[in-house]
Amino acid sequence: MTAAPRRLESYLAGAWRRGAGAGQVLLDAGTGAPVAVVDATGLDMAGALGYAREVGGPALRRLSFHDRAGMLKALAASLNDRRDPLYAESCATGATKADSLIDIDGGIGTLFAYASKGRRELPNARVLLDGAPERLSKDDSFSAQHILTPLQGAAIHINAFNFPCWGMLEKIAPTLLAGVPAIVKPASQTAYLTESVVRAIVASGLLPEGALQLVAGAVGDLLDHVTGQDVVTFTGSAATGRRLRSHPAVVANSTRFTMEADSLNAAILGPEAGPESPEFELFVREVAREMTVKAGQKCTAIRRIIVPARHLDAVAAALAARLDGTAVGLPLDEGTRMGPLASLAQREEVRARIAELGAEAEVVSGDPDTPRLASGDPDAGGFLNPVLLSCARPHAARAVHEVEAFGPVATLMPYDDPEEAAALAAKGMGSLVASVFTDDPGVAEAVVLGLAPHHGRVMIGNRASARSSTGHGSPLPMLVHGGPGRAGGGEELGGIRGVLHYMQRTAVQGAPRLLSAVTGRWTEGAEAREDVHPFRKSLTDLRIGDRIVTAARMVTLEDVEHFAAFTGDTFYAHMDEAAAKANPLFDGRVAHGYLVLGFAAGLFVDPAPGPVLANYGVDNLRFLTPVYPGDSLKVRLTAKEITPRATADHGEVRWDAQVTNQRDEVVAQYDVLTMVAKDWP
């Protein structure tokens, strides 16, 4: 007796819940066997949003950025230990082991990447500062600072079927790091894998309750309840995305909406890259890979292959040879190199799109109607051989630039010069990514500048980067993922840029003392304390505003000449009085800027062993007034920002260093960065 397929559940308001309807039966992409039943009928979507806002949001906002980064790291490690069951289940989506690695390991890797970025690039605080303070009064009694704080709603992530693991994890990583709870709605066809990932996350106990919820099935009236504090992200067809973006509640509340939609990504072969060049081989290999990975069901897959007209036949022959050798079959079979499409319905959709393209292009490789398989039943699984088309007159064509066959399908088209190649790519009306394969700097410049306004990412491929390149179709956590126009107009990922999608930028104005209380950073005009030398204070005792004002030291001509001889810096402005006076910026010989920094350090450093462990950098250094022999320098050093490390016995302290002369003119301004022990005997 065959076991009934498992019934998926939604995780809402702290519990696993079943829908009240009969549900949709989900089938194995390769065998057609039932895998699961999905349904969310009758579930309380308004309650889920309320739970995110009232339980998940406050719990996340109580944590600092570093706390949340540590949470993501622990979550990634936990999922890493539970990959094997996910791999086993992933094959039902049509994914080969290599495809699953992109989806599962890629998603976990994105969590690790955001955990690392959160610790390295964000403060151990709950408020993120945006830019420098703005002085609004001459006496520093009224200033302003832009800050970023988490939205107090929820992020609703509506995802596509092709990456059920990565698609969720790449969106919740920046969301949770920002301090905003997420409600994830995966596409039904592959929702069983997403549900398994969420079950593993919930079982880990690593996220605060309410931080992550799952809708397995239709979202019902969820969008009816969004507000201006919520965010909706969507990955899928442009038509569905436009419908969701125009939802009355989204429009009425100006709810943030980020969309990743249709994308006819292009790959361009440089005009100089003939069949004997390394770039030609790299190009053919990359196009073939992008057509067959995940059976071409990737938002970044190459759909248009733009090549020099004189090399069109050579590219077609080389690609056909590679594609014809692709073993298509069941994902678990060792010899399989490309699995089936996600469903029989998806295969019919792709065949219909190929027929549309056929009005303007001819099939030069692959039979879309009769799969040639290494294994599997073409009537049970969504199998389709790679299909290569060729369009002789791409400028006069419409479908090849507008119709996306979301499978292993791409169209060749010729061009005569680099500007024409970029213009053809632009006819896609906005795409996620384009690539150009060239070793010619002039071609790279011309094509990239032509592509950039129409694409979210552009990859240059050549012989020098071949071994290290991540390839055309790999979104990376540190780079934006999105594109203009028909690609949706959104930007995901991009490192900390992705975090900012879920935060509100606010300009805060007030007395510097109160601004410092809000921001956790000392600013000019705020209170300062001068008692014990701040370098004698551990992180436990140090407070922002702790300060030392040093004695003065005169700079002599002998100092300048000694520094020049010792360092080898004999620039004329330091050594030649007449030449220095001829310089419109100086009145005569001037001291070296780095001499000024060295003297400043000698004035404020406390030399005995103490809690200050190391100086690890200087930020925002500016030399503002020339220093001449005979000038006297003194330093005002103020503890500006204190960032404890959660996992170490020390933290970072940023100091405001201001160097002035005998006329109280600021000659140098900069931030000194030190590591300071949390406790010191």
Active site (catalytic) residues: 260, 299
Extract the runs of DSSP E, i.e. beta strands, from 197-264: 212-214, 231-235, 256-260
SS3 content of the chain, % helix, strand, coil (to 5): 35, 25, 40
The residue among 535, 529, 522, 516 whose CA lies nearest residue 656 is 522
> 329 is written with which tokens?
């079959």
Question: Which residues share a beta bridge with 548?
Answer: 637
Cβ neighbors of 633 (< 8 A, separation 6 or more) are 552, 553, 554, 555, 596, 599, 600, 603, 627, 659, 660, 661, 667
Contact 156/48 with Cβ under 8 angstroms?
no
Residue 190 DSSP label:
G
Query: Is residue 32 packed enough to be buried (19+ CB in 10 Å), middle (13-18) or exposed (0-12)?
Result: middle
**Residue 267 Cα distances to 51, 421, 435, angstroms:** 45, 10, 5
Render 557-581 in DSSP notation, one character per residue: HHHHHHHHHHH----HHHH-HHHHH
CA dihedral 468, 495, 165, 195 (to 10 degrees): 160
User: In this structure, are strands 666-677 and 650-660 parallel, antiparallel, or unpaired?
Assistant: antiparallel
- As a whole number of angstroms, the distance between CA 511 and CA 613 comes to 33
- As a whole number of angstroms, the distance between CA 554 and CA 631 comes to 6
The b-or-e profile of 412-445 (16+ CB within 10 A means b, else e) is: bbbbeebebbbbbbbbbbbbbbbbbbbbbeebbe
Four-residue CA torsion sign, 231, 236, 238, 240: negative
The residue among 595, 669, 604 whose CA lies nearest residue 629 is 595
> 116 is written with which tokens?
């690392």
Four-residue CA torsion sign, 382, 388, 393, 394: positive
The residue among 154, 153, 160 whose CA lies nearest residue 234 is 160
Containing 304, the helix (H) or strand (E) segment is: strand 302-308
> 430 is written with which tokens?
């906005």
Largest CA distance in the chain: 100
